[in-house]
Chains A and B, each alone.
Chain A
Amino acid sequence: MPITHKTPVSKTAVNLVDGKVLTVENLTFSYPDGYVALHEIDLALSAGEKVALVGPNGAGKSTLMLHLNGILNGAGELRVGGLPLNKKNIALIRAAVGLVFQNPDDQLFSPTVFEDVAFGPLHMGLPEDEVRTRVEEALAQVGMSGFGERLSHHLSMGQKKRISIATVLSMRPQLLVLDEPSAGLDPRARRSLINLLRDLPITMLVSTHDMALVRELFPRMVIMDEGRVVADGETTILLNDEVLLEKHGLEKP
């Protein structure tokens, strides 16, 4: 009997072109008051890369992250996989780019953990069974299985951070964007977060001030200052360039 293959259903929202998950070209953005927050940013991420985004406060890291799924719209080119960011693609791109905000109290806005993790899949229009499977999977991935019915405001900071990550993992994104994930964590919670990020098999862009974290987890590092990308390269090399680090207000761990 011949084997029949079902038409493969695309598991992901966006197809990759040349293995690139994200391409940013010549992105410039100024706030309504005229302050230029991003100045001709170029950045490309390949599938599977884990990249750190560092720089002093006000360098434009968070502003850049808000562009990656179209919350803010600057002038320039931004593609996720092969898809250019525009009104038509924005829903697909939001499913492909999982953005986790710094403060989990902003990220977790539903009364229960389950509802928060289900929010993304539900709004992607998935059927109920699929939503439940994805919620369970995402909670298991961050080691929080069985927390579904808990109330968000009863969780500890470390737990909230993990749930925050689960809320975007449930959308099965191709790029995970985290804003200062280790801020405000005690050493134990920080350690378990590092292990979690190391084990997640997914492309990542992580903004942080935690240089020890950068050295430990991210082979590639991008330095931003005053709205520009001032360095982009191997972490081991950049972390030894003390002149560069000091010039942009950073410290060798």
Chain B
Amino acid sequence: MHDSVFDRYRVGESRVHRMSPSVKVLVTVLLILSNALLPDGAWLALGLSWLLILTLNLLARLGWAFTLRRSFIALPFALAAVTAIFSLPGKTLTTWDIGPWHLVATDVGLLRFISIVIRSWLSVQVAILLVATTQFPDLLHALEHLRLPRSLVTVIAFLYRYMFVLTDEVMRLLRARQSRSASLPGQRGGGTLSWRARTAGSMIGQLFLRSYERSDRIYHAMLSRGYQGHMRTLNRHEMLSSDWFILAFTALTIFILQTLAHIIG
């Protein structure tokens, strides 16, 4: 039921799927960094970045619009940058008076806002491509090989494993509440707002307690199998010559993009 919600991996055998996970993570981070560093209004460079992502989509055999379709979910977050329109000095486009506020929209601000939206939208697509072509366990090992602190990787691994268990727990709590949310004919059901808030509060408390007790049991299960405070793993990732090539190619592409953007604009 919940598989489709969290498991973003798409089974495939493409060149991108077979790339070393560590390289994929590196390339993703580099591309996101590059997006963030492109200056405002560098339309050519932004467009080329998008072209690159579309090409990667095709290489991964996901269909050219795959990441585009999935990226809209993140767009609302980019709206947080809307204040940029009114906070940068520049030529006045229009003004609004909303209550006590006097808002002045400037051309520089608008340019900044649109650039931020496009940058974050491109970055989200790169990230979507990464999780769509890499199994989550491989991603964890990649982080480990990239020298991310062990405890952090362990925390992410547990988060991934227990996300599913916890959502099931929440579903059960919600269903139990729904089953008893009844009403009589001619009687307004549902209780007062404060009563309902209290119910929701104790449900969250329940969830916390259950998770807390579960963490105890998991720790016991780990101790029983010899856990002594640090995780061990067998995973090794050899870098193939093709991985080095891809890394070099990405670096070169990003260099060209940045040069283009900062010189031509």
The answer, yes or no, to whether A245 is at the interface (CB within 8 Å) is no
The answer, yes or no, to whether A214 is at the interface (CB within 8 Å) is no
The answer, yes or no, to whether A203 is at the interface (CB within 8 Å) is no
Q: Is the CB of B226 within 8 A of A71?
A: no
Q: Is the CB of B161 within 8 A of A110?
A: yes
Q: How far is the CA of A152 from the CA of B163 in the complex (A)?
A: 12
Which of the 9-residue segments B83-91, B96-104, B198-206, B213-221 touches chain A? B213-221
The answer, yes or no, to whether A31 is at the interface (CB within 8 Å) is no
Q: How far is the CA of A97 from the CA of B224 in the complex (A)?
A: 8
**Which of A110, A120, A131, A152 makes the CB contact (< 8 A) with B226?**
A120
Q: How far is the CA of A167 from the CA of B221 in the complex (A)?
A: 10
Q: Is the CB of A103 within 8 A of B220?
A: no
**Which of B136, B164, B221, B226 makes the CB contact (< 8 A) with A106?**
B221
What A residues does B228 contact at CB under 8 A?
91, 123
The answer, yes or no, to whether A95 is at the interface (CB within 8 Å) is yes
Q: Determine the residue in chain B with the shortest Cβ distance to A153.
A: B164
Q: How far is the CA of A122 from the CA of B220 in the complex (A)?
A: 17
Q: Determine the residue in chain B with the shortest Cβ distance to A177.
A: B224
Q: Is the CB of B217 within 8 A of A101?
A: yes
Task: For residue B151, give the distance in angstroms from its CB to the closest CB of chain A.
Answer: 15
The bracket for how many chain A residues form the interface is 35 or more
Contacts known (A128-B234, A153-B164, A153-B165); A111 close to B157, Cβ less than 8 A:
yes
Q: How far is the CA of A154 from the CA of B164 in the complex (A)?
A: 10
Summed over the interface, the residue pairs from A and B with CB atoms below 8 Å come to a total of 79
Contacts known (A105-B165, A111-B137, A153-B165); A122 close to B224, Cβ less than 8 A:
no
The answer, yes or no, to whether B48 is at the interface (CB within 8 Å) is no
Q: How far is the CA of A120 from the CA of B228 in the complex (A)?
A: 11
**Which of B164, B217, B226 makes the CB contact (< 8 A) with A123?**
B226
Q: How far is the CA of A66 from the CA of B222 in the complex (A)?
A: 13
Q: How far is the CA of A118 from the CA of B137 in the complex (A)?
A: 15
The bracket for how many chain B residues form the interface is 20 to 34
What B residues does A124 contact at CB under 8 A?
226
Report whether over half of chain A's contact residues are helix, strand or loop; otherwise say mixed: helix
Q: Is the CB of B161 within 8 A of A153?
A: yes
Q: Is the CB of A168 within 8 A of B225?
A: yes
Interface string of B146-173 (1 = CB under 8 A from A): 0000000000011011101100000000
Q: Is the CB of A95 within 8 A of B137?
A: no
Q: How far is the CA of A170 from the CA of B138 in the complex (A)?
A: 23
The answer, yes or no, to whether B233 is at the interface (CB within 8 Å) is yes
Interface string of A128-145 (1 = CB under 8 A from B): 100110000000000000
Q: Is the CB of B221 within 8 A of A101?
A: yes
Q: Is the CB of A111 within 8 A of B232?
A: no
The answer, yes or no, to whether B244 is at the interface (CB within 8 Å) is no
Q: Is the CB of B225 within 8 A of A171?
A: yes
Q: How far is the CA of A101 from the CA of B226 in the complex (A)?
A: 15
The answer, yes or no, to whether A30 is at the interface (CB within 8 Å) is no
What B residues does A171 contact at CB under 8 A?
225-226
What A residues does B161 contact at CB under 8 A?
108-111, 152-153
The answer, yes or no, to whether A107 is at the interface (CB within 8 Å) is yes
Interface string of A166-196 (1 = CB under 8 A from B): 0110010000000000000000000000000
What A residues does B140 contact at CB under 8 A?
111
Contacts known (A115-B233, A118-B234, A122-B233); A94 close to B136, Cβ less than 8 A:
no
Q: How far is the CA of A167 from the CA of B161 in the complex (A)?
A: 16
Q: Is the CB of B157 within 8 A of A123?
A: no
The answer, yes or no, to whether B227 is at the interface (CB within 8 Å) is yes
What A residues does B214 contact at CB under 8 A?
105-106
The answer, yes or no, to whether B223 is at the interface (CB within 8 Å) is yes
Q: Determine the residue in chain B with the shortest Cβ distance to A104.
A: B221
Interface string of B232-255 (1 = CB under 8 A from A): 111000000000000000000000
What B residues does A207 contact at CB under 8 A?
none
What A residues does B217 contact at CB under 8 A?
101, 103, 106
Contacts known (A91-B226, A167-B225); A110 close to B3, Cβ less than 8 A:
no
**Which of A66, A95, A120 makes the CB contact (< 8 A) with B220?**
A66
Q: How far is the CA of A66 from the CA of B140 in the complex (A)?
A: 31
What A residues does B158 contact at CB under 8 A?
109
Q: Is the CB of B224 within 8 A of A69?
A: yes
Q: Is the CB of A109 within 8 A of B222?
A: yes
Binding site for B on A (CB under 8 A): 66, 69, 71, 91, 94-95, 97-99, 101, 103, 105-112, 115, 118-120, 122-124, 128, 131-132, 151-154, 167-168, 171
Besides A118-B234, A122-B232, 8 more A-B contacts (Cβ < 8 Å) are A94-B223, A106-B218, A108-B161, A119-B227, A123-B228, A124-B226, A151-B136, A171-B225
